[in-house]
Homo-oligomer: A and B are copies of this chain.
Amino acid sequence: MAEGVPRRPSTLDEVAELAGVSRSVASRVLNNAPHVSRAKREAVERAVHRLGYVPNPTARALATRQTGAAALVVSGEDPSIFADPFFAQVIVGASAALDDADLHLMLCLAASDRGRRRVEKLLLSRGADGVMLMALREDDPLAILAQEAEMPVVFGGRPVGLVPRWYVDVDNVGGARAATEHLISAGRTRVATICGRPDTEVGRARYRGYRDAMLAAGLEPYPPEAGDFTERSGAHAMAALLANHPDVEGVFAANDNMGVGALRTLREAGRSVPGDVAVVGFDDLAVAGVADPPLTTVHQPIEGLGREMARMLVALVDGQDPTPLILPTRLVTRASA
């Protein structure tokens, strides 16, 4: 710094030479390892300061076989998924936890062909110290690939059809059960569900929770009306529900977007909420709070999901063997049910 801007960043050798020590000693000082005399330690520190020396992370990574970075990989075709408030919050949590471990965060979207190949290479080539993998559809090639990856992989949510060694998930079944029980406990018996994509574990698990609660209460579950987690699909599904079962008096929507869609259809159909039909969603995104009427929903700790994934990954990188985690959900009661 003091020397102006050196055209080429200085190296450890130059530091060592300026300090009059060997490269080994200089290296030890930088990693504050023992076996360095006080005098030489100070000499090296002076040299570092004079040269404005900063270790080259690539060289260090090559020598230590640690990159100092973790990747958050999202499997999906739409690049704007990062703008989804759900993922945005996952990022916040992961970012904070990685910060604690002094790791960089790489964001990877396996959308384009090129992006997908890049992710494959990353998994197979030690381009990061570990990977957090999210949003896996059924038979996602990335999930298979992750098994033979050269590095630790933590799953966010469970992929369909396989139970990964390490994952963090939220209690989808329990949350859906609580939501359904809430509808039932208000005395309603004709309770249907708008379920999510059946090719995702989230969609399946939330439907399972609904069905469990219905059966436990001695009620006949409705055949699932499926949506794809969008507001539109929720509105469509609600319309179909009204057509097939005009007497429905409670609906559990597998996420807030679809719940809001259902609210819209109900309003347009002239049904009052919760008077005629009560609605419960899942996620507790901001949209649930500002819906009309405000949507009763199942809160899940999204930021916590990101944070715990990152923590688990850090544990793995440190050579530990953490156990999978299922984070609790809780019902948030608002006006819609």
Contact = CB atoms under 8 A, between A and B. Distances in A.
Contacts of A150: 9
Contact of A79 (B67, B96, B126): B96
Interface in A5-60: 5, 9, 52, 54-59
A327 interface: no
A78 to B, nearest CB: 9
B105 A107 contact: yes
A80 interface: yes
A79 to B, nearest CB: 5
Interface in A300-324: 303
Contacts of A85: 83, 85, 88
Interface stretch (A111-119, A178-186, A237-245, A270-278): A111-119
A102 B88 contact: no
A114 B102 contact: yes
Contact of A104 (B9, B91, B118): B118
Given A102-B118, A118-B104, A121-B54, A83 B89 contact: yes
B79 A83 contact: no
A50 B100 CA distance: 40
Contact of A107 (B67, B95, B109, B114): B95
Copies in the complex: 2
Contact of A58 (B1, B54, B58, B121): B58
Contacts of A54: 121, 124-125
Interface centre among A95, A102, A106, A114, by most chain B C-beta atoms within 10 angstroms, is A95
Given A83-B89, A83-B92, A290-B290, A69 B106 contact: yes
A326 interface: no
A109 B99 contact: yes
A114 B95 CA distance: 12
A204 to B, nearest CB: 28
Contacts of A173: none
A235 to B, nearest CB: 16
Closest 6 CB pairs of A and B: A54-B125, A83-B88, A54-B124, A57-B127, A58-B61, A88-B88
Interface of A: 1, 5, 9, 52, 54-59, 61-62, 67, 69, 79-80, 82-85, 88-89, 91-92, 95-96, 99-100, 102, 104-109, 111-112, 114-115, 118, 121-122, 124-127, 148, 150, 290, 303
20 contacts: A5-B148, A52-B124, A54-B125, A55-B125, A56-B62, A56-B125, A57-B121, A79-B95, A82-B95, A83-B88, A83-B89, A83-B91, A84-B88, A88-B88, A95-B107, A99-B114, A99-B118, A100-B114, A105-B106, A105-B107
